[in-house]
Amino acid sequence: MSRSSIRRPFIAGNWKMHGSQATNAALLAGLKAGLPNLPKGEAGDDAAEIAVFAPYPYLDQVSRLAAGSRLAWGAQDVSRHAVGAYTGEVAASMLRDFGCRYALVGHSERRSLHGESDALVAEKFSALETVGIVPALCLGETLAERQAGDTLKVVFRQLDAVLAVCGAPALLAYEPVWAIGTGLTATPEEAQAVHLALRAHVAARDAAAAERLRIVYGGSVKAGNAAALFAMPDIDGALVGGAALDADEFLAICRAINV
């Protein structure tokens, strides 16, 4: 059985804190124009699921402009609280209210710049699951942790915090911190080794969920390195930062999945 028949590849752009109504509209128009030209799966289904994670204020714009296209969309974060006096926070139910399907949790920028702990990330994960939004759990080690030989210890700790309070995840993004926005990419073999270990870690609890689990790679993915990453059996797609802000570059990454 081919990988694509078990796990539909997922390629997503994380726009981070970039964009304006004008640039978003131009980017989405470029993506929508290119999406019909992407390869189809064996059964005639779309080969890969393509998504964008936009800043909160633009989610409504993205939902309207993506409607009727192959483009899925999601949020970059969520509150751990369901409702209440939490100024500036956005509840999972609010995202759900206008059809949000995915949300990132635990991105390394949230963990390092905003002090998010593993326990907080697990609470956010749970808040999303409660309303039926698929959390994309981001994991990854720093350069110092990799050099100390602690990569698997770190990503297992991040994953275990979620497994302790929720079921097995459906979507993981392995993003080595040292590869994000640096131009340094994990080699396909380095990334594959971590993806395989993450899948085995989930399989120890739930073998069927591990087979279905989509694990995407993030960290300086570009059109030029995507195909080699996607050739690895446990790399099910990509979470793309900088290169997702250019429609042609992002579409070239989508084309490289070539399932």
Active site residue 18: no
Residues 6+ apart with CB under 8 A from 90: 56, 75, 77, 78, 79
Q: Is residue 180 near ligand 13P by the rule CB under 6 A? A: yes
Out of 141, 145, 175, 249, pick the active-site residue. 175
Q: Which of residues 224-243 bind ligand 13P (CB under 6 A)?
A: 239-243
Question: By C-beta, is 6 or 225 nearer to ligand 13P?
Answer: 225
107 has catalytic annotation: yes
CB 12 within 8 A of CB 241: no
CA-based diameter of the chain, in Å? 50
- For the CB of residue 17, give the shortest distance to ligand 13P in the complex, in Å: 12
Residue 220 binding ligand 13P, by CB under 6 A: yes
Among 221, 229, 235, 251, binds ligand 13P (CB under 6 A): 221
Position closest to ligand 13P via CB? 241
- Please list every residue from 46 through 105 that binds ligand 13P, using CB under 6 A: none
Q: Give just the sign of the alpha carbon dihedral 8, 168, 71, 55.
A: negative
Closest to ligand 13P by CB, 132 vs 181, is 181
Q: Which residues contact 211 (CB under 8 A, 6 or more apart)?
A: 6, 7, 203
Question: At 216, phi and psi to the nearest 5?
Answer: -105, 155
- Asked if 219 touches ligand 13P (CB under 6 A), the answer is yes
x/- track of binding to ligand 13P for residues 11-50 (CB under 6 A): ---x------------------------------------
Q: What end-to-end distance do the CA atoms of the chain give, in Å? A: 12
- Decide: 125 and 137 in contact? Cβ < 8 Å: yes
Strand-strand pairing, 49-54 and 102-105: unpaired
Interacting residue ranges for ligand 13P, rule: CB under 6 A: 14, 107, 175, 180-181, 218-221, 239-243
Q: Which residues are catalytic?
A: 107, 175
